[in-house]
């Protein structure tokens, strides 16, 4: 039996949640789950419809993009996942989708402004939109550089990837991550919902103000601060 | 057996209606039901997904925010519910959600204009949007002051909470209430639908006029006036 | 057994299609079916949720608004239905809803422009929006005058109710009709879809041109003209 | 047994996918599947609701629009399908719908701009919107000329129908095609999703830039180029 059974099953279940949550159609999107001890991750095979997937189909890849286990080709975005796992050593799962509202903001090349407490319950800044990549990056090791583009964006904006667990890649779409697959999928759905709320807010009031700092801190900290009192 | 069995079950059923009606995702939102005789209310536990809830999980809290029964922490918004029950002695249930269109208007910091008879079937004025709270309120007993913010908004606008059973809290989202849980959930759904209709109306015609007073009175009174002839 | 069994059942089935087609929530909306021989129609009882309805609950009313059969109060819009049946002697069923996009155009007080062949497959002109009623009409026999408002609008615009089987009532919402209940419900759904398409069209291109006359005539006539070749 | 059993069943299954994918209501839309050896295609009968269809109902028509098999009248758009099969000798299936966002762009008479990688995963140019037809074409052999209008649009824009497997017909709606029915239906759904993403993108940022050429080529070629590495 595969020593990667646990991450294969977690990866499979997380992938299957994407169509259920309305975040993907057809083969759009992919989830991976990492096994830090073994330095490898499970990821969806490329171009396979969700209804045809089984846990055994998940491909095991190491951080240098070598396939360790699996008969199918891994997601074409595998190198982006590998780059992020290698750089951010404390994340457990990554989700990439082409969810509609998230993609729309990515195509608009705009950060999603923090307009309300739903947003501040999850993060304290605008959701960053990394700029489209330089031509030499695109023509080179594209998916690898996609990971770098995300990490560089966090560096330039001074963001922490443990506080901000989501990003838009300009002209492409959303990536989200978390300590495990459930959290990464959750972040992916929350991002889509925040994208939709912000879109509607601007349609109703194009000069809607950003949420004020006291509310941002209050909502973020009651859920994530040292004296958090949200949840069990 | 708990003397609060009835409100626990009513509270549970009402909470379960929120995802069914498309008003919440994940753990967003909460419903409470009051027992006026015992001066206590049942409320959803904090941060528990709807699919994991059971009637026994509902937490019983008094109007001073003491937990009377229950093994879980109550909703982080409990103090807002307590404040409203204590102040408005004739309401039986409160619903708070992060429903998309309602939140969008709250984030836009705008009242929802009364544009049509669907709106006037339920209330005769714009749906009020309470302004975002003062910093000292936010930094203090936040959820308690959230209740006060809502009540103050009704006071300043001269609104009656028995005629207007819904409000937007600026930058946060909707609260609705009613004589019982069914009515409070109903108001929550109606608010979301009115928010959506008003949004679309302004997109089609940015200078759409408010509904005229005769139509407002006619529709409200045929359903709620002394000679009402709507319903059985 | 009731001599109105047939229209009661047709009326029940048609009412039940409204929530299924996403045209109503709660008790919004009502369908009636006429029995021309007996000069009476079956209509939904007022304020009863769709899931609680049974065929026996349908109320039988004549064109003077007398209840002939039924233990419940008929829809509060009954007099509008009666007026339309009395005036337009060849219609068999009427549907009134508060479907979202149709209501949005009604609240915008605008006709829905004929932008494409989907529209022309059903009618050759803009979907009329009757203006909001005069105050004396509203304060008087309101629902009766609502029927008159619709008929007057068709008179003023020179429209035929057998060619144009749908209307928006300004600030209120859509009415549709047809030779039978299936057709009336169909028209109601088509109206909502045309309302949504036209809304999106104007968002994409605020100066989108009306469909040209040759295409209007071609599409309408291939489906409804004397040489129609659409359908079986 | 019919020698067309295979295409009849493929055609039936593809037609049934349209309501499931949310691309049609009622009788809107139609799919055909070709049998190149016999020079004939199976197509949906005209005006029959999807829930009433069976594989036997599919009508067999040759490229000169002669009915070879079937008791029902074929889709009123049959001549458009015949024209396209006759002209483009390597396509296996055609789908026509009145899907909402695709129709909205067609009614706006605008090409759908290539804004992101979701688009570039499928084609490298804007999705063309063929102009509304000349009056003499409309008054003549309308559905035949509709096919010609599409082919002419590809000619004028220098597009390849094997690279661009979708088009909007101005004021009408979308057509998509592919080597087989699954691919044609897939293209139809992708077109609708791209139409929705582009609509939202322009609402958020009316001056959103087109996707840059390097990204277009990268995404298209990793999926369709000679060194493609997407899929299995």
Dig out the tokens for A75 from the structure.
């997601």
Residue with tokens 């993907």: A24
State the Cα–Cα distance between residues C108 and D20, nearest whole angstrom.
32
pLDDT at C55 over 80: yes
Of C116, C223, C230, the CB nearest to D107: C116
β-sheet with C173-178: strand ranges across: C67-69, C59-62, C40-43, C30-35, C93-96, C173-178, C166-169, C129-130
Model pLDDT for residues A122-169, shown as the tens digit of each residue: 999 999 999 999 999 999 999 999 999 999 999 999 999 999 999 999
Query: Of D78-82, D159-163, D228-232, which gets the smallest average pLDDT?
Result: D228-232
Of A208, A215, A232, the CB nearest to B47: A232
On whether the CB atoms of residues C164 and C156 are closer than 8 A, the answer is: no
Dig out the tokens for A46 from the structure.
């490329």
Q: Classify residue B192 as left (phi > 0), alpha (psi -120 to 50) or beta.
A: alpha
**Residues of chain C neighbouring B205 (CB-CB closer than 8 A):** 108-110
Q: Is residue A230 part of a domain?
A: no
* Shortest Cα–Cα distance, C208 to chain B (Å): 13
Nearest CA in chain C to B201: C104
pLDDT at A1 over 80: no
Q: Bridge-partner residues for B178, per DSSP? A: B93
Q: Is residue B232 part of a domain?
A: no
Residue D224, pLDDT score: 95
Of B46, B98, B135, the CB nearest to A214: B135
Dig out the tokens for D70 from the structure.
């079937």
CA-to-CA dists, residue B225 to A49, B123, D40, angstroms: 56, 11, 67
| Beta-carbon contacts of residue B161 (< 8 Å; ≥ 6 apart) | B88, B91, B151, B154, B177
- Pick the closest to residue A100 from C100, D176, C22, D195 (CA basis): D195
Name the D residues in 197-226 with CB < 8 Å from any C CB.
199, 202-203
Of B100, B139, B199, the CB nearest to A196: B100
Residue A159, pLDDT score: 98
* Shortest Cα–Cα distance, B208 to chain C (Å): 5
Work out the average pLDDT over C63-92: 97
First to last CA, chain D: 36
Q: Is the Cβ pair B232, C26 closer than 8 Å? A: no
Q: Is the Cβ pair A197, B138 closer than 8 Å? A: no
Q: Bridge-partner residues for B58, per DSSP? A: none
Work out the average pLDDT over A34-50: 96
Other Cβ atoms closer than 10 A to B213: 12
Beta strands in chain C (DSSP E): 30-35, 40-43, 59-62, 67-69, 93-96, 129-130, 166-169, 173-178
Q: Is residue B149 part of a domain?
A: yes
Residue B59, CB-side half-sphere exposure with 13 Å CA sphere: 25
Interface probe, candidates D67, D70, D76, D171, chain C, greatest C C-beta count within 10 A = D171
Q: Is residue B229 part of a domain?
A: no
- Pick the closest to residue B127 from B147, B150, B148, B145 (CA basis): B150
Q: Is residue A11 part of a domain?
A: yes
Residue C209, pLDDT score: 97
Average predicted confidence (pLDDT) for chain A: 97
Of B103, B171, B199, the CB nearest to A203: B199
Of A26, A45, A104, the CB nearest to D197: A104
Q: Is the Cβ pair C214, D139 closer than 8 Å? A: yes
Nearest CA in chain D to A97: D118
* Shortest Cα–Cα distance, B66 to chain C (Å): 36
C62, C121, C152, C182: the active-site residue: C121
* Shortest Cα–Cα distance, C213 to chain D (Å): 9
* Shortest Cα–Cα distance, D101 to chain C (Å): 7
* Shortest Cα–Cα distance, C99 to chain B (Å): 9
Chain centroid offset of residue A195 CA: 14
Q: Where are the alpha helices (DSSP H) in chain A?
A: 5-20, 78-87, 100-107, 117-120, 135-139, 142-157, 181-204, 213-224
A50, A77, A101, A121: the active-site residue: A121
Nearest CA in chain D to A76: D230
- The answer to whether C228 faces chain D, any CB pair under 8 Å, is no
Catalytic-residue membership of C121? yes
Chains with 3 or more CB pairs under 8 A to chain B: A, C
- A62 falls in which pLDDT band (50, 70, 90)? very high
Residue B57, pLDDT score: 97
**Residues of chain C neighbouring D108 (CB-CB closer than 8 A):** 201, 204-205, 208
Q: Is the Cβ pair B101, A200 closer than 8 Å? A: yes
Instruction: Specify the 3-state DSSP secondary structure of C67.
Output: strand
State the Cα–Cα distance between residues D168 and D128, nearest whole angstrom.
6
Q: Is the Cβ pair C46, B208 closer than 8 Å? A: no
State the Cα–Cα distance between residues D139 and C222, nearest whole angstrom.
11
**Active site amino acids of D:** 121, 230
Q: Is the Cβ pair D230, A142 closer than 8 Å? A: no
**Residues of chain C neighbouring B214 (CB-CB closer than 8 A):** 135, 138-139
Beta strands in chain D (DSSP E): 30-35, 40-43, 59-62, 67-69, 93-96, 129-130, 166-169, 173-178
Q: Is the Cβ pair C230, D132 closer than 8 Å? A: no
pLDDT at C229 over 80: yes
Work out the average pLDDT over C45-64: 96
The domain of A124 spans: 5-224
Q: Is the Cβ pair A106, D116 closer than 8 Å? A: yes
State the Cα–Cα distance between residues D31 and D77, nearest whole angstrom.
10
Q: Is the Cβ pair A205, B108 closer than 8 Å? A: yes
- The answer to whether B47 faces chain A, any CB pair under 8 Å, is yes
pLDDT at C1 over 80: no
On whether the CB atoms of residues C148 and C88 are closer than 8 A, the answer is: no
Give the CA diameter of chain D: 58
pLDDT at D1 over 90: no
Other Cβ atoms closer than 10 A to D8: 23
pLDDT at A53 over 80: yes
Q: Which residue has the higher pLDDT, B105 or C232?
A: B105
Average predicted confidence (pLDDT) for chain D: 97
Express the helix, strand and coil content of chain A in percent, nearest 5 each: 45, 15, 40
Model pLDDT for residues D32-58, shown as the tens digit of each residue: 999 999 999 999 999 999 999 999 999
Of B73, B76, B109, the CB nearest to A208: B109
* Shortest Cα–Cα distance, A121 to chain B (Å): 10
Q: Bridge-partner residues for B21, per DSSP? A: none
Nearest CA in chain A to D113: A107
Chains with 3 or more CB pairs under 8 A to chain C: B, D
* Shortest Cα–Cα distance, B138 to chain C (Å): 37
Residue B1, pLDDT score: 72
Q: How much of chain D exceeds pLDDT 90, in percent? A: 99
Q: Is the Cβ pair D200, A100 closer than 8 Å? A: yes
Tally of domains within chain A: 1
Q: Is residue D100 part of a domain?
A: yes
B111, B121, B152, B182: the active-site residue: B121
Q: Is the Cβ pair C171, B211 closer than 8 Å? A: yes
Q: Is residue D206 part of a domain?
A: yes
A35, A199, A220, A230: the active-site residue: A230
State the Cα–Cα distance between residues A208 and A139, nearest whole angstrom.
39
First to last CA, chain B: 36
State the Cα–Cα distance between residues C183 and C171, nearest whole angstrom.
25
Model pLDDT for residues C151-188, shown as the tens digit of each residue: 999 999 999 999 999 999 999 999 999 999 999 999 99
Work out the average pLDDT over A51-78: 96
CA-to-CA dists, residue D7 to C231, D37, D56, angstroms: 22, 12, 11
pLDDT at A79 over 90: yes
Q: Is the Cβ pair B26, A231 closer than 8 Å? A: no
Residues of chain B with pLDDT below 50 are none
- D190 falls in which pLDDT band (50, 70, 90)? very high
Residue B51, pLDDT score: 92
Dig out the tokens for B83 from the structure.
């404040």
Residue C2, pLDDT score: 85
pLDDT at A2 over 90: no
Residue C223, pLDDT score: 94
Other Cβ atoms closer than 10 A to C36: 12
Instruction: Specify the 3-state DSSP secondary structure of D35.
Output: strand
- The answer to whether B228 faces chain C, any CB pair under 8 Å, is no
State the Cα–Cα distance between residues D189 and D183, nearest whole angstrom.
10
- Report the DSSP pairing between strands C129-130 and C30-35: unpaired
Q: Is residue B230 part of a domain?
A: no
Nearest CA in chain C to B229: C76
Query: Of B1-10, C102-111, D149-158, D185-194, which gets the smallest average pLDDT?
Result: B1-10
Q: Is the Cβ pair D200, A104 closer than 8 Å? A: yes
On whether the CB atoms of residues C62 and C103 are closer than 8 A, the answer is: no
- The answer to whether B113 faces chain A, any CB pair under 8 Å, is no
Of D186, D204, D222, the CB nearest to A104: D204
| CATH number of the CATH domain containing A134 | 3.40.225.10
First to last CA, chain A: 36
pLDDT at D7 over 90: yes
On whether the CB atoms of residues D197 and A100 are closer than 8 A, the answer is: yes
On whether the CB atoms of residues B69 and B60 are closer than 8 A, the answer is: yes
- The answer to whether A115 faces chain D, any CB pair under 8 Å, is no
DSSP string, A153-169: HHHHHT--TTT--EEEE
Residue D2, pLDDT score: 85
């Amino acid at each position: 039996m595969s020593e990667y059974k646990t991450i294969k099953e977690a990866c499979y279940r997380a992938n299957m949640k994407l169509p259920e949550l309305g975040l993907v159609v057809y083969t759009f999107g992919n989830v991976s789950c990492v096994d830090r001890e073994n330095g490898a991750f499970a990821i969806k095979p490329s171009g396979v419809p969700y209804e045809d997937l089984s846990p055994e189909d998940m491909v095991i890849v190491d951080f240098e993009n070598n396939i360790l286990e699996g008969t199918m080709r891994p997601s074409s975005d595998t190198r982006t996942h590998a780059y992020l796992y290698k750089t951010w050593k404390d994340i457990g799962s990554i989700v990439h989708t082409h969810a509609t509202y998230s993609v729309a903001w990515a195509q608009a090349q705009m950060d999603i402004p923090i307009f309300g407490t739903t947003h501040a319950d999850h993060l304290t800044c605008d959701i960053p939109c990394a700029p489209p990549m330089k031509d030499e990056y695109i023509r080179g090791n594209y998916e690898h550089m996609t990971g770098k583009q995300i990490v560089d964006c966090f560096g330039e904006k001074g963001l922490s990837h443990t506080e901000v667990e989501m990003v838009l890649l300009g002209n492409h779409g959303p990536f989200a991550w978390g300590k495990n697959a459930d959290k990464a999928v959750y972040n992916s759905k929350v991002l889509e919902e925040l994208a939709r709320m912000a879109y509607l807010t601007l349609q109703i009031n194009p000069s809607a103000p950003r949420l004020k700092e006291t509310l941002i801190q209050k909502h973020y900290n009651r859920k994530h601060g040292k004296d958090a009192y949200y949840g069990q």
